[in-house]
């Protein structure tokens, strides 16, 4: 009799999942009497204990973008039979790791972490957008910067649901070419990775209530390219209503501007087609689809320097109708609470591309290489190398100010001037001091994001690290929950205001500040910034 009851319970679960579960209410009402099973709109998923959370990993949110689906918008995922295991991650998307191409094109998966017991009331949802220049990233199950794993173990105990996902990267996610334009009614190409992000957010909107999340409180937080992608998504008509707050961290591009479709096609697009020998073929699109993943991904690799080779969103008039910053100025986006910030030494790892900076001559040459010969004297005058420990330190400071800190202030000012929802700036000024290599790098690009996740690698956080993490987990989870990061047991974080000068400095001493004056943002507002290499 017990076996019959189990069979009937399983049959009831499958029938509930197979029914029309397109509405959140139907998904949420799918009850199998098994605490670790959730019904999505495509089928049942069994979670597994992951620290203090229940994790549901490797859930498909779109069909594998392979064969004829390569370089096409994501197609709806296919329903499955039975109860799908959520114990393991799906494959990472293809990318260059070290010197080899790794990953699998069948990679469009989403992961969800919730409390061990389904919440009695819907919780805010925090969706993580990883960095990596849109051509590489540390996947959800792979140790990243600071040797952390991107999961929900640290944030979920703050009464939130955490979501991570994979998107198509590099040439497979952002290749723009006239031959691909011709296949689409809109005559555009290149934003496949961005469309993956939108498809993922649509999945979250349909399904997150079943996991205990609130589809009306979805908060995006992301670093580097992830932060830049957030600003683009804020102004994408197809993403409207899918998220309600955001944190743009160490964003690239920091100024909420993206390449145009023509730039993408005439830059990396034509270069890739030529490199793989498809540019002279009668059917360029078919030729490109006939190439192996390794050939395509390794053709024109992306780069991480002060002269980045761009893979990412393009202004195509369809997915992204105009420059994101322009649509923000025109109030053609849904206003929402925003965090925007960066680290104190963003460019430490990237400035070598300008050549060794060891003396006054090489310092001036590096400035000219980044900002143009006509700007050399003005920039050098504002950053005398005698004011810094080394010429290289002066160059790191000025490029951090120009490309990150002052860009963040500019975007914060713009947002604060057009919306009532608050905008909060931060500057992360703390290094990972329990490791000599990380300590020497200082508060480098993306160093802040491990503090929002669980330390699971070789780095042993110090007491100061733990205190900073405690504050950040509280600020970010409160922002996701209420639209205000402040909480009783933390220093006050004031809104940036229309001046954009108020900010929170996060470090050994966390406190509200103004400026920072040393960034000389009034000066950088008069300097034309370099365009990305495309």
Dump pLDDT digits (tens) for 329-344.
999 999 999 999 999 9
Dihedral sign, Cα of residue 299, residue 302, residue 307, residue 313: positive
Beta strand 423-428 with 338-343 is parallel
Dump pLDDT digits (tens) for 245-288.
999 999 987 889 999 999 999 999 999 999 999 999 999 999 99
Instruction: Give the residue with greater pLDDT, 105 vs 353.
Output: 105
Task: Give the side-chain half-sphere CA count within 13 A for 168.
Answer: 32
How confident is residue 176, by pLDDT bands cut at 50, 70 and 90? very high
Q: Which two tokens stand for residue 37?
A: 């099973």
Instruction: Please choose, from the candidates 91, 228, 227, 89, the residue with its C-alpha nearest in 3D space to the C-alpha of residue 172.
Output: 91
Dump pLDDT digits (tens) for 63-114.
999 999 999 999 999 999 999 999 999 999 999 988 899 999 999 999 999 9
How confident is residue 530, by pLDDT bands cut at 50, 70 and 90? confident
d(CA 234, CA 334): 7
Can 85 be counted among the known catalytic residues?
Answer: no
Q: Are 288 and 296 in contact (CB under 8 A)?
A: yes
Percent of the chain with pLDDT over 90: 80
pTM score? 0.92
d(CA 457, CA 454): 9
Q: Are 392 and 348 in contact (CB under 8 A)?
A: no
Q: Are 10 and 39 in contact (CB under 8 A)?
A: no
Choice among 24, 40, 189, 224 that is catalytic: 224
pLDDT at res. 309: 61
Q: How far is CA 353 from CA 36, 347, 369, in A?
A: 50, 11, 10
pLDDT at res. 243: 98
Instruction: Give the residue with greater pLDDT, 12 vs 129.
Output: 129
Element of type H or E holding 398: helix 391-400
Q: Measure CA of the first residue to CA of the last residue in the chain; give whole Å.
A: 67
Domains annotated on the chain, with CATH: 1-336 (3.40.50.1820)
């Amino acid at each position: 009799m017990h076996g019959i009851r189990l069979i009937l319970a399983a049959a009831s679960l499958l029938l509930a999942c197979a029914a029309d579960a397109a509405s959140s209410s139907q998904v949420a009402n799918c009850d199998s009497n098994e605490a670790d099973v959730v019904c999505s709109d495509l089928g049942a998923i069994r979670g597994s204990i992951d620290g203090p959370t229940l994790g549901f990993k490797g859930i498909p949110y779109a069909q594998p973008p392979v064969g004829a689906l390569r370089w096409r918008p994501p197609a709806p995922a296919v329903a499955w039979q039975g109860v799908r295991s959520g114990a393991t991650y799906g494959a990472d998307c293809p990318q260059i790791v070290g010197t080899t191409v790794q990953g699998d094109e069948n990679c469009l998966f989403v992961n969800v972490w919730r409390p061990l017991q389904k919440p009695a009331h819907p919780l805010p949802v925090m969706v993580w957008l990883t960095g990596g220049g849109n051509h590489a990233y540390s996947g959800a199950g792979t140790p990243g910067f600071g040797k952390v794993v991107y999961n929900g173990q640290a944030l979920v105990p703050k009464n939130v649901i955490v979501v991570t996902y994979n998107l198509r990267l590099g040439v497979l996610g952002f290749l723009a070419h006239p031959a691909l334009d011709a296949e689409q009614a809109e005559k555009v190409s290149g934003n496949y990775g961005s469309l993956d992000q939108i498809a993922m957010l649509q999945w979250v909107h349909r399904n997150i209530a079943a996991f205990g999340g609130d589809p009306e409180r979805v908060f995006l937080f992301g670093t580097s390219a992830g932060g830049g992608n957030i600003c683009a998504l804020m102004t994408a008509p197809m993403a409207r209503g899918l998220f309600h707050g955001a944190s743009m961290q160490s964003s690239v591009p920091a100024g909420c501007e993206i390449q145009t479709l023509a730039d993408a096609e005439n830059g990396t697009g034509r270069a890739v087609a030529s490199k793989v020998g498809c540019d002279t073929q009668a059917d360029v699109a078919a030729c490109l689809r006939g190439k192996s993943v390794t050939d395509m991904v390794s053709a024109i690799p992306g780069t991480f320097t002060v002269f980045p080779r761009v893979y990412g969103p393009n202004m195509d008039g369809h997915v992204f109708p105009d420059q994101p910053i322009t649509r923000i100025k025109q109030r053609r986006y849904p206003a929402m609470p925003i965090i925007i910030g960066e680290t104190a030494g963003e460019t430490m790892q990237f400035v070598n591309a300008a050549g060794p900076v060891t003396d006054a001559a090489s310092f001036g040459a590096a400035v000219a290489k980044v900002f143009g010969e006509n700007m050399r004297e003005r920039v050098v005058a504002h950053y005398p190398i005698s004011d810094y420990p080394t010429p290289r330190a002066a160059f790191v400071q000025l490029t951090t100010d120009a490309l990150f800190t002052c860009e963040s202030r500019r975007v914060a000012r713009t947002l604060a001037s057009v919306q009532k929802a608050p905008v909060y700036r931060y500057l992360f000024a703390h290094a990972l001091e329990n490791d000599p290599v990380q300590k020497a790098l200082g508060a480098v690009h993306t160093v802040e994001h491990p503090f929002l996740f669980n330390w699971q690698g070789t780095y042993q956080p110090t007491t100061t690290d733990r205190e900073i993490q405690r504050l950040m987990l509280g600020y970010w989870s409160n922002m996701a929950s209420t639209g205000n990061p402040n909480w009783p047991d933390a220093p006050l974080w004031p809104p940036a205001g229309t001046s954009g000068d108020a900010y929170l400095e996060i470090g050994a001493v966390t406190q509200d500040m103004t400026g920072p004056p040393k960034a000389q943002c009034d000066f950088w507002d008069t300097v034309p910034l370099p365009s990305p290499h495309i």
